[in-house]
Amino acid sequence: MPADSAAAPHAVPTYDYHCPANGRTVEVSHKMADSVSTWGELCHRAGLPLDGTPGKARVERLITGGNVITGALGAKYERPCDTGPCGTPACGGGGCAFE
């Protein structure tokens, strides 16, 4: 094993979950073998407050393009435009390429 492979970041897929109880969709990253089934679990992974929705409310994983981020396991995904314009032609015009 190469000496630098131990320090290499892990690729972690991101998933979108929708909560029918409150209409919110939240993106989190986790191992492919893991799953999230309740609003409470989703909020815990995303670092969000329950905001009045019962923790036992069911969530549904949405079918998406299977984004993958690199970093520590469980890292939060940040879109390029969360910290400023991302430079895509639609940026700022309501057509975000990352939503």
Predicted confidence (pLDDT) at residue 1 exceeds the cutoff of 50: no
**pLDDT given at position 37:** 97
Q: Mind listing the pLDDT tens digit for each residue in 6-33? A: 544 567 888 999 999 999 999 998 888 8
Mean pLDDT of the chain: 75
Write the CA distances from 8 to 2, 16, 32, 36, integer angstroms: 10, 26, 19, 27
**Rounded CA separation 39/48 (Å):** 10
What contacts 97, CB < 8 A, 6 or more positions away? 86, 88, 90, 91
Q: Token digits for 21?
A: 């109880």
Q: Mind listing the pLDDT tens digit for each residue in 69-95? A: 554 444 444 555 555 555 555 555 555
Q: Is this model's pTM higher than 0.75 or not?
A: no
Predicted confidence (pLDDT) at residue 43 exceeds the cutoff of 80: yes
